Amino acid sequence: MSSRKANGNANGTVAGSTHDQKTDYTRWRMRDERGQQIWTYISPEEAAKWPQSIPEKYHLGLPTGLPELPAALKPLDAARNGLRFFSKLQCNLGNWTCEYGGPLFLLPGFIITWYVTNTPIPEHYSIEIKNYLFARQNPDDGGWGLHIEGHTSVYGTAMNYVVLRILGASPEDPRMIKARAMLHKLGGATNGPHWAKWYLSVLGVTSWDIVNPVPPELWLLPDWMPIAPWRWWVHMRQVFLPMSYIWSKKFTYPENQLIRDLRQELFIQPYESIRFGSHRNDIADTDNYNPKSWLLNLVNFLLVWLWIPLFRTKSLVARAEAWTWHLVQREDENTDFANLAPVNQPMNALCCYIHDGPDSESFARHLAHFADFLWVKHEGMLANGTNGVQTWDTSFAIQAIIEAGLEREPEWRPVLESALDYLDSQQIREECRDRESCYRHNRKGAWGFSTREQGYTVSDTTSEALKAVLMMQSLPWAPQPVSDERIHDAIDVILTMQNATGGVSSYEPARGSEKLELLNAAEVFGRIMVEYDYPECTTATVTALSLFGSIDNKYREKDIALFKYRAVDYIRKAQRSDGSWYGAWGICFTYAGMFALEALASVKETYARSARVRKGVKFFLDRQMADGGWGETYKSCETGVWCQHEKSQVVQTAWVVIGLLECGFDDPEPLRRACRLLMQRQKANGEWEQESIEGVFNKSW
């Protein structure tokens, strides 16, 4: 198909139907490896010897054969039915695994990196990734957004269009024509945000002139400087690190026919006429969630017109590239090449390809980890937001079973013991290599969000995992695999997480000023430059320390008391005048409010004793829907105000119920109505089905 015809049909329609391939879903298996489950496509012969498990069937959308259960007459019956179903999804390692999807900007990093390194993309991946992207294409305008419920954007549309073309989708497929028409309506790929322009330059579709500078020299700044990268939020610095190395190398994939075709398909003007340098700051309104500040525009101007042509010497570039490469190596080694997240993982892989070569061990180890982030479901294959949520989900599973009193029933003891074994195996037992020089926070004693191998301390995951361990090991029949010394290690690392405000951040205490947001170049995300206080992280640490204090009131007693005093003071101050708390890691006011009410109750601030708690409860009661539930959309995260969902949501209803129960709310009727809704939504086999997304991070994804 000629590129001219593809471009000419950009706004047209093509008659005919599409016939997408599908893999044989009975051949997908989850392989237990490195503390997680990795989807693997096996041969028919292997499938005959390796029966599909219930978790595999469930996550693929295949019939599980699980029986219908007796109808629940009481909320506790519903909880027991839910556990009967949920326990069947427990994996061999003792954890629970699941889709952690939603973002639509993650797959392009993997696919483009595979492509530009000439790495064959497995056919079964290619088939199911195409299926997923077409399934998640906006049915009205043909585009894609930043996440599956977001509005269409240049970033989502241009990058996922590129993915589909790399994977073999025809430019004359009606869906591709519709996507291209929408992209052109938004001004074409030159109107994409910084990250999109960076990847398109790596691919060779655009010139590096279109990318605002990402100089690795910033990593040479003295640590005392307010803008030094070590002060940035860990996700931002771990993305900027490989991004700056590759920008400095100006790596570009050689031109071929697909690149020439994409140059004709992604822009609204002929490729040959585009002056890419004049489009560095162009961005569509749909993508401009966080507009560049006047300061960032000034910095970019000075870098382009003064720093690069006049002062960026070869020797300085060599020093900067050498230091950034050293830091890339430390990130790889300290995570066993799993890396922090699916944004920096393929970027680090490309760094290794450039520096060590295509046949290097470092590049091969990265490629082996790509599958860690890929998930298969009935719609196809997607990229998860991390390499899983194993520790997080397993911690809450233990807590939920014990809070419901079901640990007293012998049939659940194997489930709990296996889950405890998993948490025991996933606690981080050692510090990073060169921890201080590579700007890593303490991690000995912590639990990461996903696995021990990923290796990053997370404040609330450590707290929730510690609570689960303490609750389990307080049971008379339970084993005691986590020693007092290791519990003390967890307490020690929690006590390092507090900010001067009394609040707690996610991965490490805040290191830089919020004014660094003036240098936020990502455009599509808000509040990403530094760590912030988070009510949900703060409350998790308070409840963990309260539980620990009820078991051991001697270890670091004064330090814990001071930490809790300052943390609770922050939680009080974080409450808004309407009684709510804003949540950053879930949607949104329901999520943070649940945690806040639980934390206040742990220090004896209950509904009966605290006007503050009663105000928080009133905020929820004023928003209870006619059917008894609660529902809030992701727009609450973007706008900072409550955005009512058109339909009540099971998850948010459950969150509110937990908060009301924890704080000792004394009116049974709102709780009765909410529980009735939860019971009505439960399926006959005990499960609750997925409804709308429950979390949006960094305001917009």
**Pure H helices in 142-193:** 154-166, 174-185
Per DSSP, 308 falls in state I
Contact (CB, 8 A) for 531 and 510: yes
Mark whether 393 is an active-site residue. Answer: no
Name the residue type at position 438: C
Nearest to 361 by CA among 352, 348, 373: 352
Name the residue type at position 692: S
Residue corresponding to tokens 């279109």: 210
Contact (CB, 8 A) for 634 and 571: no
> What token pair was written down for 160?
């996922």
Q: Is the dihedral of CA 301, 304, 310, 311 positive or negative?
A: positive
Nearest to 97 by CA among 329, 387, 488: 387
For residue 46, what are the CA distances in angstroms to 29, 42, 49, 545?
10, 6, 5, 48
Nearest to 236 by CA among 372, 120, 340, 99: 340
For 630, list phi and psi in degrees, rounded to 5.
Answer: -125, 150
Q: Cβ of 128: how many Cβ atoms within 10 Å?
A: 28
> What token pair was written down for 498?
């507090």
Per DSSP, 39 falls in state E
Nearest to 451 by CA among 20, 3, 32, 1: 32
Contact (CB, 8 A) for 272 and 140: no
171-187 as b/e, with b when 16 or more CB fall inside 10 Å?
bebbbbbbbbbbbbbbb
For residue 463, what are the CA distances in angstroms to 160, 180, 237, 607, 617?
37, 47, 25, 24, 24
- Interhelix angle 668-681/650-662, rounded to 10 degrees, is 150
Name the residue type at position 523: E
- Using CA atoms of 542, 545, 551, 555 in order, give the dihedral in degrees to the nearest 10: -150
Select which of 372, 460, 489, 533 is catalytic. Answer: 460
How many CA atoms, within 13 angstroms, populate the side-chain half-sphere of residue 353? Answer: 22
Number of H helices, E strands in the chain: 26, 6
Gyration radius of the chain's alpha carbons: 26
- Interhelix angle 257-265/154-166, rounded to 10 degrees, is 150
Q: 126 CB contacts (<8 Å, ≥6 apart)?
A: 167, 168
Name the residue type at position 378: H
Contact (CB, 8 A) for 688 and 680: no
Q: 456 CB contacts (<8 Å, ≥6 apart)?
A: 234, 335, 340, 443, 448, 449, 507
**Pure H helices in 436-583:** 459-473, 484-494, 535-551, 557-574
Contact (CB, 8 A) for 692 and 517: no
Burial of 47 (0-12, 13-18, 19+ CB in 10 A): middle
Q: Which residues are marked as active site?
A: 460
